[in-house]
Amino acid sequence: MNTFNHIVGAHYKLGATTYELSGIDDNYYLLRSLEYKRQRSLKSENFEKLFSEGKLKLVKKALSDITDAVYFTSLTPQKKETFQRRLSYVEKVRMTFGSIIPKRYFKQFIELTAKELYDKNPPSFSTLNRWVVAYRDSNFNPASQLSVHDKKKVTRKRRIDDDVLELMHEIINNEYLVSERPSMQSVYVIFSDSLHYKNLSLPPDKQISIPSLMSFLREIKKIHPMTVATARYGAKTARKRFDYGRSLHYKSQLCLRTEIDTTPLDIMVLDENSAVVGHPYLLPIIDVYSRCVLGWDLSFIPGCAEKTLRTLKHAGSDATAREVGGLPIELVIDNGSEFINESLSSFAKYTGTTILINPPGTPNQKAFVESFFKTVNNKFLDKIKGKTFSSPALRGNYDSEKKASLTLNQLRKLFAKWVDGVYHLEGHSGIEDRAPISLWREEHKKLPTIRYDHETLNTISRSTTQRVITDSRVKMFGLTWTGPSVPIISEKSKSRGKPKPVEVLYDSSDLSTIWIKDPHDKSIFYEAFATRPFFQESLSLFEFNLLKQRGKFKDTDLEKELVLNRIALHEEIREQSTKHKSARKKVSKMEKAQQLLTDDNSEFLDSFKASPSYRTNSEEDEFDVTDFPDDGFLL
């Protein structure tokens, strides 16, 4: 009898309860409930019988069974570069020849492609053909370019101490990015000598580990080539060196060049209680060739990596019903580290998207998205009440807050209808008065754009980190997650009775769930859920950091008050626990606590205990998201 391949991490429903398959041990299937603290162990034959009879139903596949993209998240930098190289070659073949390489054109093709990719050791015909066949047979799935070894065993990336990394960047900036143009090896000698000198004053057990020359070179390679060329050769030479690629930006191909930017919309919006909230921020992805909007995000989040990542997933997901969409081949973004993080870089490498950073002071490099912003203001926002106009002079006596009439959700719905129902159907002067959707349909028949399933995009957009599981919970950024298999992972991670860090995958654009890698089997991932699901649903890391900033103590008087409150509270607890003792003992304890304070602080303590704000119940000192004010951010 043929049996179904059941994978650890999958979700099954038995009766009215949903379980996670948390392990397979000695011919037993171990199930843990998602809703209740309940677990079941079924013999393999009974498990298979219930499954074949339809009494045990698969409701969600394991992450590694949904997509191979999970293996990409933990590749070393070298393997990611190898993967990116393979994907670049097979994509070039697909764009040039389709799915078959004509041997008579191979020599000319490989020379041009290797030169474009700066590849000194291009693949042979047989090697490239093997990559192309695997790509074609997998329906153009990028994971086909991962080797079998990468899927069986994922190598953990070596980490460099933050202080060492800071020193490395300082020496690169001061010694390598200079007009004298020293070699990488000579700059590495300066770096390694600096660490050797520090080690002279440190005991043997505190010695600093010195990164290798290759680690140093990799950090240099992370710097944008234009930045390196400008610092070492001058701006004029750098511009000339990178001028050659501009003609590629306007080829007749969808998604070949796209532009992305953020702008605050000139309109005030309301919350659900009709109170004015403020300006929303719009981030669209514009396809340069067709002028179509591939995807967009309209929220109160200003420009950041999480917002960009969310928009890319909206554009590249096959789950959306929009006709227009696809992942960019080249994406021009704003200059600045706030627009790039690990998740966005990993997402771009897996999908083959080349991120081009717009140099400061060159708005013409993103002329198409800037033009779209003007169209939004002139043709979409023009008739909506609550417009703020672009300047006080133009606004005059118009009361934008009083005239505001739409909530953010209402504005989103109107914008979606306008983009797909009006903007895409109107003639555009930049494409000879053709409608963007008309040009899109024509080119899409020749070469369809690339989209992925929703789970794959969510997987490759995750960052990895190490965390120790405490009390069956994973804690990061001041938030916590848990799940039915988390206690099991915690037990597996122990070494000599002490828990060790486990690898955690999280999406910085959505902190509602995380994935935890099995310490013993790198192909198994367990899902963990937010302990505050209503708060963390679709919450980005950027939004949460803004909220935490609002909750910080910025006034030294408040810090002083906090300390006094805690002392008084602890003293109250001690008094309550010793009621059976004499009144003299209570007084002596109170005097002991007061000795910790100055005379002024003692007076403050007495006045505080007499105030209505004094509370006697025990509270946790750690940060609590339920203390956030309700008048700040609409998430």
- Full DSSP string of 159-186: ---HHHHHHHHHHIIIIISSTT---HHH
Return the SS3 of 21: strand
pLDDT of 555? 45
Within a domain: 354: yes
- Confidence at 538, pLDDT banded by 50, 70, 90: confident
* pLDDT (average), residues 585-604: 50
- Quote the pTM value: 0.52
* pLDDT (average), residues 373-390: 84
Within a domain: 587: no
- Confidence at 36, pLDDT banded by 50, 70, 90: low
Distances (CA, A) of 350 to 79, 457, 458, 473: 12, 10, 12, 30
Last residue of a domain, which of 539, 556, 578?
Answer: 539
* pLDDT (average), residues 87-115: 86
Name the residue with tokens 């919350």.
271
Amino acid, res. 555:
D
pLDDT of 621? 41
Which long-range contacts (C-beta less than 8 Å, at least 24 apart) are formed by 550-559? 550/628, 550/629, 550/632, 551/623, 551/627, 551/628
245 pLDDT above the threshold of 50 = no
Same domain, 173 and 238: yes
CB distance 424 to 292 below 8 Å:
yes
Instruction: Point out which residues pair with 91 in neighbouring strands.
Output: none
Residue 331 backbone dihedrals phi, psi, to 5 degrees: -130, 120
pLDDT of 436? 94
Same domain, 395 and 471: no
634 pLDDT above the threshold of 90 = no
pLDDT of 435? 93
Same domain, 310 and 333: yes
Within a domain: 301: yes
CA-derived radius of gyration, the chain: 29
Query: Closest Cα to residue 16, out of 43, 52, 67, 55?
Result: 55
User: CB neighbours (10 Å) of residue 5?
Assistant: 8
Same domain, 166 and 57: no
How far apart, in whole angstroms, are the C-alpha atoms of residue 47 and residue 28? 8
For the chain, the farthest-separated pair of C-alpha atoms sits apart, in whole angstroms, at 102
Distances (CA, A) of 200 to 162, 206, 211, 624: 20, 11, 17, 45
Query: What domain range includes position 348?
Result: 257-446
Element (H, E) at 488: helix 486-492
CA within 13 Å, CB half, 552: 8
Within a domain: 141: yes
Average pLDDT for the chain: 78
Same domain, 285 and 210: no
Record the tokens describing residue 617, joined without a space.
């119940």
Last residue of a domain, which of 539, 557, 582?
Answer: 539
Query: Closest Cα to residue 490, out of 458, 467, 524?
Result: 467
Same domain, 238 and 369: no
Higher local confidence (pLDDT), 509 or 186: 186
Same domain, 223 and 298: no
User: Per residue in 247-262, pLDDT tens?
Assistant: 334 567 899 889 999 8
What dihedral angle (degrees, nearest 10) is formed by the CA atoms of 105, 107, 111, 114? Answer: 90
CB distance 589 to 574 below 8 Å:
yes
Residues 514-540: b if buried by 16+ CB within 10 A, e if exposed:
bbbbbbeebbbbbbbebeeeebbeebb
CB distance 101 to 109 below 8 Å:
yes
- Confidence at 1, pLDDT banded by 50, 70, 90: very low
- Confidence at 246, pLDDT banded by 50, 70, 90: very low
Name the residue with tokens 């310490």.
519
Within a domain: 576: no
The total number of structural domains in the chain stands at 5
Same domain, 379 and 487: no
| Strand ranges for 189-319 from DSSP E | 258-260, 263-264, 269-270, 276-278, 281-287, 293-299
**Domain of residue 169, CATH code:** 1.10.10
Record the tokens describing residue 173, joined without a space.
């900036």
**Domain of residue 352, CATH code:** 3.30.420.10
pLDDT of 292? 95
Same domain, 78 and 174: no
What dihedral angle (degrees, nearest 10) is formed by the CA atoms of 45, 47, 52, 56? Answer: 170
Same domain, 412 and 295: yes
How far apart, in whole angstroms, are the C-alpha atoms of residue 453 and residue 447? 19
Within a domain: 605: no
Record the tokens describing residue 233, joined without a space.
């050769």
The packing angle between helices 162-171 and 184-200, to 10°, is: 140
Within a domain: 274: yes
CB distance 312 to 448 below 8 Å:
no
Within a domain: 333: yes
6 pLDDT above the threshold of 50 = yes
Last residue of a domain, which of 539, 562, 577?
Answer: 539
- What does the angle CA 307 – CA 312 – CA 316 come to, to the nearest 5 degrees? 155
Same domain, 349 and 381: yes
Amino acid, res. 439:
L
Same domain, 187 and 229: yes
115 pLDDT above the threshold of 80 = yes
